[in-house]
A and B are shown apart, each in its own frame.
Chain A
């Protein structure tokens, strides 16, 4: 079961700063003796349009925090961040730019 996510998106001086928290064990190969469990793909969408597609690895800490700076944006824009891990689990969160 995927734990909660939390996101903030704020407009400052022509840029949208997005900060997103996600709950995930991010267990490495070594820690789990060959059964790693980590987020593989990260997708950021603005008003339904994909703007970032990230591939991340085991080398990211438990309960990771990501920040992005997007050019432009207006208040009320819908930002959606979703992840997919190596076991097929997924979770997403959505927020409006403030």
Chain B
């Protein structure tokens, strides 16, 4: 009798866990169907081709790792080591680099407004959407051979578990155990390739709840802000290393983004 009662409870528990899982999946499917993310790609394309800065140049000759002007699959192969700057860069760091070198803009001017809002998205957000969209269908394949790429990965891996800030949080405080969530967002265990793959395959992303496009630099910055640490510098070694660690963990996933989040 007891055994029967026990198995009934177990079945109930499993049933509700399953229902919750499909609720998330259902919600994600519905938001993705009605996503305006392609509009961001369209504006990004115009900005990419627009002549700007003291040199009055477009970003069309920007080398994202596949050669000047090659966008197809470039996002999926980032972050990677760039010989010309002797460091590892992710997409946004590289776009910033191109704004400074090709267009002759100062770092301060180019980064005046890296993250926008619903009424006025930032240039970086539009460009990031456009560049990422050109990698749809490509497998995530960040650089892992160069010693600096290995160092970056190791730094990111270490940073993932370092406890810091007022609350003594690390990334693993939220992303370290299964089954956690914040409202309608599940908190995946990002050190697990199974969880990292679908996630990294859909960033950057349009966020439905506040109608804004969010980039990976923003995502990492905002995690640090929520951990109550000073926000990292845009395009810094820290953020690139975090991005490198997450992308290498998700390696092999087919890029489906830019995605749509709750």
Contacts and interface: CB of A to CB of B under 8 A. Distances in A.
Nearest to A62: B211
B54 interface: no
B162 interface: no
B36 interface: yes
B36 A65 contact: yes
B211 A6 contact: no
28 contacts: A3-B39, A3-B43, A4-B39, A4-B42, A5-B39, A6-B38, A6-B39, A6-B42, A21-B36, A21-B39, A22-B36, A22-B39, A23-B36, A23-B39, A23-B43, A25-B118, A25-B119, A61-B211, A62-B118, A62-B211, A63-B36, A63-B39, A63-B211, A64-B36, A65-B33, A65-B34, A65-B35, A65-B36
Interface in A55-91: 61-65
Interface string B34-55: 1110110011000000000000
Contacts of B43: 3-4, 23
Contacts of B36: 21-23, 63-65
Contacts of A4: 39, 42-43
A63 B38 CA distance: 11
Contacts of A61: 211
Given A5-B39, A63-B39, A65-B33, 14 more contacts: A3-B43, A4-B39, A4-B42, A6-B38, A6-B39, A6-B42, A21-B36, A22-B36, A23-B39, A23-B43, A25-B119, A62-B118, A65-B34, A65-B35
Contact-size category for A: 10 to 19
Contacts of B33: 65
A20 B42 CA distance: 14
B interface majority secondary structure: loop
Nearest to B35: A65
A interface majority secondary structure: loop
B38 A21 contact: yes
Interface string B192-220: 00000000000000000001000000000
Nearest to B212: A62
Interface string A31-66: 000000000000000000000000000000111110
Nearest to A27: B119
Contacts of A3: 39, 43
Interface in B107-142: 118-119
Interface in A8-23: 21-23
A17 to B, nearest CB: 12
Contacts of B39: 3-6, 21-23, 63
Contacts of B118: 25, 62
Contacts of A62: 118, 211
Interface in B40-73: 42-43
Counting chain B CB atoms within 10 Å of each CB, which of A22, A23, A63, A64 scores highest? A63
A26 to B, nearest CB: 9
A53 B11 CA distance: 51
B128 to A, nearest CB: 17
A19 to B, nearest CB: 9
Interface string B159-202: 00000000000000000000000000000000000000000000
